[in-house]
Every structure is written in C-alpha cells, then in structure tokens.
Amino acid sequence: MKIIAGRIIPAMATTTATITGIACLQLYTLNQTNNINYFRNCYLNLAINRFIMTMPSEQIMNTDKEY
C-alpha cells in the first residue's frame, strides 16, 4: 500500500505541470497571432506517453423555433 500512496504526489505534480505548459503554449499562440483559429484540443495520457493536439471540432448550434 505504501508504494501506491507514495506515487500520488509526483503524478499530480507532473500532470499539473504538463497542463500548465500546454495552456501557456496556447496563450503564447494567441498573443503572437491574435487569432483564435490556431487553438487546439489536446489529448494527454502520461501513462503511455501519448500527447496529441488536434483541431477543435465544429461548434454545434441549436436554434429555437421562436428565435
């Protein structure tokens, strides 16, 4: 049980640092281009070292009949 409990804090710190880095990259992109079209979705899995950035999907628009 000690082995599992001892790895929680480093795992949370690693994940937090990675997410913060990705968010900073997105802010740098927005600052340099001033265009929201350059934003990306990110899929991150640290367990198997998978890092994928993709284009965002299209926005789904719902309209009311009375609108």
Q: If DSSP codes are grouped into helix, strand and coil, which group holds residue 13? A: helix
**Closest listed residue to residue 52, CA positions, set 13, 20, 22:** 22
For residue 20, the model assigns a pLDDT of: 93
Between residues 28 and 59, which one has the greater pLDDT? Answer: 28
**57's tokens:** 């999907």
Taking only the tens place, the pLDDT of each residue in 4-39 is 666 777 878 888 998 999 899 889 988 999 888 888
Which residues, in sequence order, are CB contacts of 43 under 8 Å at separation 6+?
Answer: 50, 51, 52, 53, 54
Domain ranges of the chain: 2-54
Mapping DSSP onto H, E and C, the string for 16-55 reads: HHHHHHHHHHHHHHHHHHCCHHHCCEEEEECCCCEEEEEC
